[in-house]
Structure 1
Amino acid sequence: MKSVFKNKWKLPTSVNKIKTMKVKFIPLYIIATSVSLLSCEKFLEVDSPKNQVAAETAFQDEKIANATVIGMYTSMNGFNSQFGSGLLSTLLSIAADDYLYAAGSYDAFKDNALLSSTSFLDRLWSQPYAHIGQANKVIEGVENSTLSTSVKAQLIGEAKFVRAFCYFYLVNTFNKVPLVKDTDVFKNNLLPQSSKQEVYDFITQDLVDAVANLTDPYVGTERVRPNKKAAQALLARVYLYTQKWELAETTSSAVIADTRYKIPTDLNSVFLKTSEEAIWQLQTVNTSTAGVNTWEGFSIVPTSATVNPLYRVYQKTLDAFESTVLGTDKRKVNWTKEQPFNGVPYSYPSKYKVRTSTPVAEYNTVLRLAEQYLIRAEARANIGTAAKLSVAVDDLNVLRARAGVTLLSNTLNKADALLAVEKERHFELFGEWGHRWFDLVRTNRAVAVLSVTKGNGFTASDMLIPIHDEIMKTNPNLKPND
C-alpha cells in the first residue's frame, strides 16, 4: 500500500459542510488517493461536479469501490492536528495526566477549563462525522452495487468498522451524539442526540457485523486495513466499557490467541510499521512535509537536541513508574526521553521516535495487543472470583514482565486488582488515543486521581467536554453536553 496515499485534501470543518449535497456523490479525492494502486485508467467521465463522481456509477467498479474505502483511512491521517492524526491523543492526554504542552495553545485542556468556545473542540466532533459520512456512502453504494458477495462483505465490514470506531470516540467524548446512519442529509442535519446506550448499541451491532464480514487475513501485506481481529479488538473494548465482563473476556481472548500478534520484548519495536504487536495501524498520508512518519512524532519530537521540548510528561506520572531491584520500568526508560533546556531536564513522550525520516519506519498504531491483555485483566477482575482474579493478575504480569518490574501476587483481592489494572493501563497506554482520560472518567476515578496529580481543583463537572459553539449552530436540535 505504499503508493496508496498520495493526494492532499482538506477536511470539512463543520457538520453542515459535510452534508450539503442533495445528490449522493463520492468525493473524487477518495478515489484519487488510490489511483496508483489501481491502474492508469481514466476516471469515470460523468456529468457530476468536477470534484465528484456519481456513487451509483463508482461502486459498480471493484477497483474504484476499493479506492473509496482506502480513502476513509486517507482522510483520517492526512494532515497534522486532526482527530485521527494525533489531535485527540494530544488533547485528552493533556486533559488527563499523561503530558502537557508548554507553549500555551492547549492550556484550557491542561487546566481543565474547557468552554464551548475552546479551540480544537470542533474538530473532535466534525472530523469523526466526516469519516462517518464517508462510511455511510460506502455502505449504501456497495449494498446497491453489483459487486460480488465477498467483495461487498469486505468493504461493508471495513466501513462499519470505521463508523463504529468514530462513534466510539464521539460518545466517549461528548456522551450524547446524533446517530447518523445513512446519507439523507436533510434528515441528518436535524437529528437530535441519541442516548449513550443507543449509541453503544449501534456501535456494538456495527462491530458484530464487521466481525462477521471481514476476512481474517489482512488486505495487503501491512496492517493498515482492518481485518476480523481488528473488529474483535475494538468490540472487546466496547464490551469492557459497557461492563459486559464475560463478553469482554472471551472477545479479547480470541484476539490474544491469534499467533500473528505478539508482545515483543523490545519496547522500541512496538510502534514500528512492522510491529508484531500492531492489530491496526494508520499509514501517514503526507505531501506537505517531507519524511513525516507519524504526525505525533513530527509534533512531539524536538527539532534538535538543544531546543526546549514543549510536550512534557507530567512529573507525577514520571514519578509513578516503578523502580525495583530489577531496575526502572522499561516503559519509562524507552517511552519517555529526557532533554535539558537552560539547565533544566524535561521528559517528553517518546513512543514515536521519528520526527522525519526516509524511508518511513513508524505508523500510527491504533489497536495493539497489549490493550487486549489489559481488557481481559479488567474484565476478569470485575468478574471477581478467586480464579478470575488470579488469571487477571497473570495478564497484567505479561506486560510487567516485558517492562522489567516485579510481578504482582496472584492473591490480590478485587479492589487491589482493579487498582493494579488502572496503573498498568496508565503506564502502558499513556499518550495513546485518549485511554487515560476515558479510563478515569468511565471508572469514576477522575476526581480522585486528577485533583491530586494535577493539583488544579479538578471537580466532577470537569469530566464533561462541551460541544463547540460552531457545532451547535449546525443543528438547532443539538443540546449542550450536560
Structure 2
Amino acid sequence: MKTYIKYIPLVALAVTLLACKEQLVEYNPAGSTAQSLFTTPEGIEAGVNGIYTYNRYFYGKEEGQALMEMGTDIWTNAANNGNSGSNGVFPQPSLMTYQGLTTDNVWVKNRMWQQCYAAINLANNVLKYLPNAGVLATRQTQLEGEARFLRAWYYWHLVESFGAIPLQLIPTETIETTATRTPVETVYEQIFQDLQVAVTAIPQTTTDYGRITRPAAEAFLAKVYLTRGKNQEASNYAKKVITGYTYKLLPTYASLWSMTGQQNTEVLWAVNYSTNLAFNAGSNINHTLFLMEYNTQPGMKRDVANGFPNVRYMPTLFLLSLFNEQNDSRYNASFKSAWLANETDATKRPAGMNVGDTAILTTKYPVTAAFRQSKKYRIYDLNDMYKADGTPNDRFHYVSLRKFDDPTRATDATTESSRDAYILRLGEVYLLAAEAQLNLGKKDSAAYYLNEIRTRAAVTGRTTNMRVAAADVTIDFILDERARELAGEQVRWFDLKRTSKLVERVKKYNPDAAPNIQPFHALRPIPQSEIDAVTNKGDFKQNPGY
C-alpha cells in the first residue's frame, strides 16, 4: 500500500514573513494558537508533517515547473501557455521568455516567496516549542533534524531565487512592519548549520515514505556545497550517498517512470501523492503540462492512456538534438513521438486506418514528401515543428515529454495524478559528483561518474558508444547530460544559475527567450507587495533590473 505524509492545514500558524498594508481583522473560531498546538507530542508531529506539505505547492505543479524548469535552454512555450510577455491569464509566459517579468508576477510571489516563508515560519514554531512539548528524547532529536532540514530546504529555494533575503529564525507571531535583506553568505551559513545538524539527527531509513532520511539530506547537502563552490565537500557527500547505503540505479531508465514502481532503490526523496486525490491538497499535474494536442487529430480522441493535453510546454529543438536515440534509451523513455488511433467511430478515421494503427508521428528529423504521401497518418517533422533558427513553427503539435504519464487516472477528464514527484534521486547524485570532480580538475573521476549514468542509459549493445572520455568532459557536457537525465524534473533553472550559464545558454539555445534575457534575470524580482508593506523601504530594496 502506498503510504504518504498527510496534508495538515496549519494556515493560521504558517503566516508569511512580512506584514500586509491592509488592516486585517483576524477570526480564529477554534481559538488555536501556536502555544496551544505545540504543547503536546501530537501537536509537534502535526507541525513537522505540515512543513513537508509546502513542497506540494510547486513540486508536481504548473507553478513549480514555470519557476524551476522554464526560462531555460530546454523548454519553451506551447500554444496554451501564451507566447508573449503578457501575464494575461497565466503568469508563466514572462517566466519563460523574460519579457514583461515584473515585480507583480503572482507565481513568484504566491508560490516561491510566500509558501517558502510560510513553511519556514512553521519550522520556526516547531523548533521553538519542541524542547518543552513532552516529546521523547530520541524522537525530539529526529524531529529537530527534520525541521532544520526543511528550513534549510526552503531557504535554499529563496536565496537562490532572490539573493539576499530576510533571515528569520524565530516564529513571526505578530505583525512586523520592517524587514532587512540578509546577505547571501549569511543565509548560506545558516543553511549549512541546519543541514549539519540534520545529517546527524535524521535516521538512515524511514517506514513513512516521503519523510526525509539521512542519505537524502546528505544528497541535498552535496548540492548546496556544490552551489557554493565547495567542491571537495560536495564530492565527499555525493560519494557517501552513492557508496554508503543500499540505494542503487535501476537497471533501465524507463523503469523509473513506471506507475507501479515509484518507490524504488533510486529515489532518495519524493513528494508522495496519495491515490486518494482528496488527501493531496492538489495532486500532481505534470502529466498534463508537456503533452501536445493529439486529441483533435484524425483517428484520435482524448483517453486515459494518452493523457490530458494541457499544451503548456514544448521542448526546444536544442533539447531534442541532445539525444542520439540509436545509443541512448532515454530519448524514447522520456518522449512520446507516435500516437495510435483510438477513435472507434470509423467515419472519424482516415480511410484505411484501423484502431491501433499509427495516427500521428512527430519526429525531430525532416521527412521527404514521398514518405509523407505514402502514409495514412499525420506527420509533424522537424520543419513542421521548428523554424531554421529553432523558433517553434507549430506550438500545438510536437514531441511530448512522457515521463510523468499516468494511465491509472480514473477518467480521461481527470487532470490530477497520484504520481509521486521525485525531488532527489541517485541519478542526479552521480551528476553532482561528476560536476564536483570536474571543478576539482579531476576529469577522469568526472568521466567515471558520468559513465555510470550513461551505461545505465545505453541501448542494449551500445554501451561502448555511450561512454565518454575524460578529455571530453566540460561543464557544458555535464549540463547537456543533466538535460538528458533530468529534463522536466524541476532542477534546470537552478542548474544554469549554479554554473553561471543561464544567460549564455538561453541566448544560444532558446530563441523565444534569447532577445529578452539579461544578467539580472539570474535573480527573481522581490514581490512588490512585500516592498510596499514595509516601513523601512530604504533598507529593503528591489533586486536590480526590476
Query: How does the TM-score come out when normalised to structure 1?
Result: 0.82
Q: 3-state DSSP class of the match of 1:270?
A: helix
Q: 3-state DSSP class of the match of 2:494?
A: helix
* Cα separation, 1, equivalents of 2:185 and 2:407: 40
Partner of 2:402: 350
TM alignment of 1:54-453, pairs within 5 A: 54-77=33-56, 82-86=57-61, 87-102=63-78, 103=80, 104=82, 105=90, 106-113=92-99, 114-123=101-110, 124-186=112-174, 189-220=177-208, 222=209, 224-271=210-257, 272-284=261-273, 287=277, 294-301=284-291, 305-306=295-296, 309-323=311-325, 327-338=326-337, 344=380, 345-354=397-406, 357=409, 362-384=419-441, 388-404=442-458, 406-412=465-471, 416-433=473-490, 435-453=491-509
| 285-294 or 159-168, larger mean C-alpha shift | 285-294
* Cα separation, 1, equivalents of 2:77 and 2:120: 30
What amino acid sits opposite 2:439 in the alignment? N
Q: Higher Cα Rg: structure 1 or 2?
A: 2
* Cα separation, 2, equivalents of 1:311 and 1:199: 33
Q: 3-state DSSP class of the match of 2:270?
A: strand
CA offsets 1:76-125 (integer angstroms, 9 cap, x no match): 32xxxx33443223333221123234221322122122111233111211
Identity %: 26
Structure 2: which 5+ runs fail to align?
83-89, 297-308, 340-359, 363-377, 381-396, 411-415
Task: Please say if residues 293 and 354 of structure 1, whose CA atoms lie closer than 8 Å, have aligned partners that are also in contact.
Answer: no
Q: 3-state DSSP class of the match of 1:473?
A: helix
Task: Please say if residues 292 and 398 of structure 2, whose CA atoms lie closer than 8 Å, have aligned partners that are also in contact.
Answer: no
Task: Please say if residues 497 and 522 of structure 2, whose CA atoms lie closer than 8 Å, have aligned partners that are also in contact.
Answer: yes
| 351-360 or 374-383, larger mean C-alpha shift | 351-360
Task: Please say if residues 60 and 147 of structure 1, whose CA atoms lie closer than 8 Å, have aligned partners that are also in contact.
Answer: no
Partner of 1:42: none
* Cα separation, 2, equivalents of 1:8 and 1:180: 22
Task: Please say if residues 20 and 533 of structure 2, whose CA atoms lie closer than 8 Å, have aligned partners that are also in contact.
Answer: no
CA offsets 1:21-78 (integer angstroms, 9 cap, x no match): x9xxxxxxxxxxxxxxxxxxxxxxxxx943463434443433332222112223432x
Larger RCO, structures 1/2 (Cα 8 Å, 6+ apart): 2
Q: 3-state DSSP class of the match of 2:400?
A: strand
Instruction: Please identify which structure carries the higher helix content.
Output: 1
CA offsets 1:228-267 (integer angstroms, 9 cap, x no match): 1111111110110111111011111111114431111222
What amino acid sits opposite 1:217 in the alignment? T
Question: How far 1:156 moved relative to its partner?
Answer: 1.0
Structure 1: which 5+ runs fail to align?
23-47
Task: Please say if residues 248 and 379 of structure 1, whose CA atoms lie closer than 8 Å, have aligned partners that are also in contact.
Answer: yes
Task: Please say if residues 108 and 527 of structure 2, whose CA atoms lie closer than 8 Å, have aligned partners that are also in contact.
Answer: yes
Task: Please say if residues 232 and 255 of structure 1, whose CA atoms lie closer than 8 Å, have aligned partners that are also in contact.
Answer: yes
Partner of 2:526: 467
| 123-132 or 348-357, larger mean C-alpha shift | 348-357
Q: Give the number of aligned pairs.
A: 443
Task: Please say if residues 289 and 312 of structure 2, whose CA atoms lie closer than 8 Å, have aligned partners that are also in contact.
Answer: no
| Structure 1 residues 60 and 120: alpha-carbon distance in aligned structure 2, compared to 1, 3 A threshold | closer
| 442-451 or 392-401, larger mean C-alpha shift | 442-451
* Cα separation, 2, equivalents of 1:66 and 1:187: 26
Task: Please say if residues 409 and 417 of structure 2, whose CA atoms lie closer than 8 Å, have aligned partners that are also in contact.
Answer: yes
| Structure 1 residues 289 and 297: alpha-carbon distance in aligned structure 2, compared to 1, 3 A threshold | farther
What is the Cα-based RMSD across aligned positions, in Å? 3.4
Task: Please say if residues 7 and 49 of structure 2, whose CA atoms lie closer than 8 Å, have aligned partners that are also in contact.
Answer: no
Partner of 2:374: none
What amino acid sits opposite 1:267 in the alignment? Y
User: Is residue 543 of structure 2 the alignment partner of residue 481 of structure 1?
Assistant: yes
| 458-467 or 113-122, larger mean C-alpha shift | 458-467
